[in-house]
Amino acid sequence: MAVRVKVGPYYRFAALIVRPVLFAITKRDWRGFENVPHKGGVIVAVNHISHADPLVFAHYLFDQGRPGRFLAKSSLFSVPFVSLILRGAGQIPVFRESEGAHVAYKAAVEAVNSGELLGVYPEATLTRDPNHWPMTAKTGLARIALETGAPVIPMAQWGAQEIIGTYEKRIKIFPRTLVHVHAGPALDLSPWMGKPIDQQVLLEVTNFVMDEITRMLEDIRGEKAPAERFDSRKSGLPRTGNFKRKP
């Protein structure tokens, strides 16, 4: 049975608005929440497939009694009303591809160390893989995990890309979309704990986490991911932002 975590008024207000909409437009295959600790600092790492999936992800956590803090792109914090809700709910802006990224990192570590659940998209942007498989991730998640020693819960989600396609504006309302959110057991990062946190260690931990998320997504989709993970740095595509927009 889920343990209900106390949430603030902004978080509750957002849930009051968003949850009825999600119940109306989605069917839910939610599994594995018993793998998420009911209390204490924890990091949940999930794949990113659509602008709709943060809502699906947050819905899963909220309804299971463990709402969290999320790392979100800084541009959302300049949108009227949305900014008010995000800041009021304690979400963490990420200034991607900038020197300001360390501010988000510090806030994330503090959140975990204070006993909160931290939701992280290791890819740091919507996947560029043409078939929505997880792509090469950044190392921020690994650094937070190794510094805090908090458990890392891998999570795979699928279906939200049918609600809103990648960098599309049209929203599918009917028929309801089946969305899958599966959480796996905490990952064993003991082989890297206590080692100097250098680039090699960060890459190894990052790949270990992404391998498990990909394996879980393979189970959901019933198919195999490509043998080589998509790497936007080798593709010529921008690392962040709408890569479909014509120059």
In 3D space, the residue among 170, 182, 165 whose CA is nearest the CA of residue 221 turns out to be 182
Q: What single-letter DSSP state applies at residue 13?
A: H
Cα–Cα dist 229/129, whole Å: 8
Written as one string, the DSSP assignment of 188-229 is --TTTTTS---HHHHHHHHHHHHHHHHHHHHHHHTSPPPSS-
Helix (H, G, I), strand (E, B) or coil at 64: coil
- Which helix (DSSP H) or strand (DSSP E) does residue 119 occupy? strand 117-120
Instruction: Give the pLDDT of residue 1.
Output: 43
Q: What is the mean pLDDT of residues 64-71?
A: 90
Cα–Cα dist 143/182, whole Å: 24
Higher pLDDT, 151 or 84: 151
Query: What are the extents of the domains in the chain?
Result: 9-227
Question: Which CATH topology does 9-227 take?
Answer: Glycerol-3-phosphate (1)-acyltransferase (3.40.1130)
Q: Any idea which of 18-22, 29-33, 153-157, 241-245 has the lowest mean pLDDT?
A: 241-245
Helix (H, G, I), strand (E, B) or coil at 76: helix
Read off the pLDDT of residues 111-151 as tens digits, 9 standing for 90 and up: 999 999 999 999 999 999 999 999 999 999 999 999 999 99
Amino acid identity, position 103? V
Q: Which residues pair with 118 in a beta bridge?
A: 43, 69
Read off the pLDDT of residues 28-55 as tens digits, 9 standing for 90 and up: 999 999 999 999 999 999 999 999 999 9
pLDDT over 70 for what percent of the chain? 94
Quote the pTM value: 0.92
pLDDT band at 76 (very low <50, low <70, confident <90, very high): confident
In 3D space, the residue among 125, 116, 154, 147 whose CA is nearest the CA of residue 50 turns out to be 125
Cα–Cα dist 124/131, whole Å: 18
Amino acid identity, position 22? L
**Which tokens is 132 given?**
């929505």
Residue with the two structure tokens 């990909």: 214
Instruction: Give the pLDDT of residue 81.
Output: 72
Written as one string, the DSSP assignment of 79-91 is STTHHHHHHHTT-
Instruction: Give the pLDDT of residue 89.
Output: 75
